[in-house]
Amino acid sequence: MSVFKYEKDADGIVTITMDMTGPVNAMNAEFRDAMGATVDRLEAEQGLSGVVFASAKKVFFAGGDLKELLAFKKGEEANFMGMLDTMKSFFRKLEKLPVPVVSAINGAALGGGYELCLATNYRLAWNDKSVQIGLPEVTLGLLPGGGGVVRLVNLLGLQAALPYLLEGKKVTPEAALKAGMIDEVVDSLEQLLPRAKAYILANKGNQDAAIQPWDKKDFRIPGGNASSPKLAQVLMGAPAMLAQKTRGLLPAPEQILDCAIEAARLDFEAAQRIETRGLTYLVGTPEAKNLITTFFFQMNKVNSGASRPKDVAPQLTKKVGVLGAGMMGQGIAYVSAMAGIEVILKDISVEAAEKGKAYSEKLLDKAMARGRMSPEKKAQVLGLIKPTADNADLQGCDLIIEAVFENIALKNKITSSTEQYLCEGGIWGSNTSTLPITQLAEAASKPENFIGVHFFSPVDKMPLVELICGEKTSDIALAKAFDYARQIKKTPIVVNDSLGFFTSRTFGTYFDEGARMVVEGVAPIKVDNLGKAIGMPVGPLTVHDEVSQELSRKAMETWAEMGVTDKWGEQDALREVVDFLVVQNGRGGRHHNGGYFDYRDGNKTLWAGVVEKFYKADVCMPDQDIKDRLLFRQVIETLKCLQTNVLRTVADGNIGSIMGIGAPIWTGGFLQFVNTYGLERFQTRCGELAAQYGERFACPEIVAQKIAAGETFV
What's the confidence (pLDDT) of residue 551?
85
Compute the distance between CA of residue 345 and CA of residue 2 in angstroms, rounded to an integer.
57
Torsion of CA 287, 288, 289, 292, to 10 degrees: 120
**Residue 180 burial by Cβ neighbours in a 10 Å radius (0-12, 13-18, 19+):** middle
Backbone angles phi, psi at 474, to 5 degrees: -85, 165
Letter string b/e over residues 665-704, b meaning 16 or more CB atoms within 10 A of that residue's CB: bbbbbbbbbbbbbebeebbebbeebbeebeebbebbebbe
Coil, strand or helix at 430: strand
Based on the fold, state whether residues 380 and 479 are members of the same structural domain: yes
- Kindly report, residue by residue over 659-673, the tens digit of the pLDDT: 999 999 999 999 999
Based on the fold, state whether residues 406 and 513 are members of the same structural domain: no
Number of separate domains in the chain: 4
Provide the residue range defining the domain that includes 454.
Answer: 319-496
Based on the fold, state whether residues 230 and 374 are members of the same structural domain: no
Based on the fold, state whether residues 354 and 409 are members of the same structural domain: yes
CATH assignment at residue 67 = 3.90.226.10
Last residue of a domain, one of 448, 476, 496: 496
Q: Tell me, yes or no, whether 85 lies in a domain.
A: yes
CATH assignment at residue 533 = 1.10.1040.50
**Residue 658 burial by Cβ neighbours in a 10 Å radius (0-12, 13-18, 19+):** buried
Residue 586 · residue 593 · CB < 8 Å:
yes
Last residue of a domain, one of 225, 258, 284: 284
Spatial CA neighbour of 118 closest among 226, 4, 212, 219 = 212
**478 contacts: CB under 8 Å, gap ≥ 6:** 308, 309, 312, 451, 467, 469, 494
Based on the fold, state whether residues 455 and 589 are members of the same structural domain: no
Based on the fold, state whether residues 396 and 489 are members of the same structural domain: yes
Q: Tell me, yes or no, whether 177 lies in a domain.
A: yes
User: What amino acid is encoded at 577 in this protein?
Assistant: V
Residue 404 · residue 414 · CB < 8 Å:
yes
Q: Tell me, yes or no, whether 313 lies in a domain.
A: no
Last residue of a domain, one of 496, 528, 546: 496
Using alpha carbons, list the distances in angstroms from residue 258 to 264, 274, 277, 341, 517. Answer: 10, 9, 11, 48, 39
Residue 504 · residue 552 · CB < 8 Å:
no
Based on the fold, state whether residues 134 and 277 are members of the same structural domain: yes
Based on the fold, state whether residues 230 and 249 are members of the same structural domain: yes
Q: Tell me, yes or no, whether 162 lies in a domain.
A: yes
What's the confidence (pLDDT) of residue 232?
80
Based on the fold, state whether residues 8 and 144 are members of the same structural domain: yes
Based on the fold, state whether residues 465 and 561 are members of the same structural domain: no
Spatial CA neighbour of 499 closest among 554, 578, 440 = 440
What's the confidence (pLDDT) of residue 564?
65
Q: Tell me, yes or no, whether 353 lies in a domain.
A: yes
Q: So which residues are the catalytic ones?
A: 454
- Kindly report, residue by residue over 56-114, the tens digit of the pLDDT: 999 999 988 999 999 999 999 999 999 999 999 999 999 999 999 999 999 999 999 99
Residue 663 · residue 670 · CB < 8 Å:
yes
Compute the distance between CA of residue 674 and CA of residue 682 in angstroms, rounded to an integer.
7
CATH assignment at residue 325 = 3.40.50.720
Compute the distance between CA of residue 467 and CA of residue 422 in angstroms, rounded to an integer.
20
Based on the fold, state whether residues 529 and 654 are members of the same structural domain: no
Coil, strand or helix at 559: helix
Q: Tell me, yes or no, whether 292 lies in a domain.
A: no
Using alpha carbons, list the distances in angstroms from residue 194 to 10, 188, 199, 204. Answer: 14, 11, 9, 15
Which parts of the chain register pLDDT below 70?
1, 563-571
Q: How far apart are the first and last CA of the chain?
A: 37
Compute the distance between CA of residue 488 and CA of residue 46 in angstroms, rounded to an integer.
54
Expressed in percent and rounded to 5, the helix, strand and coil fractions of the chain are: 55, 15, 30
Q: Tell me, yes or no, whether 634 lies in a domain.
A: no
Q: Tell me, yes or no, whether 73 lies in a domain.
A: yes
Based on the fold, state whether residues 560 and 469 are members of the same structural domain: no
What's the confidence (pLDDT) of residue 568?
46
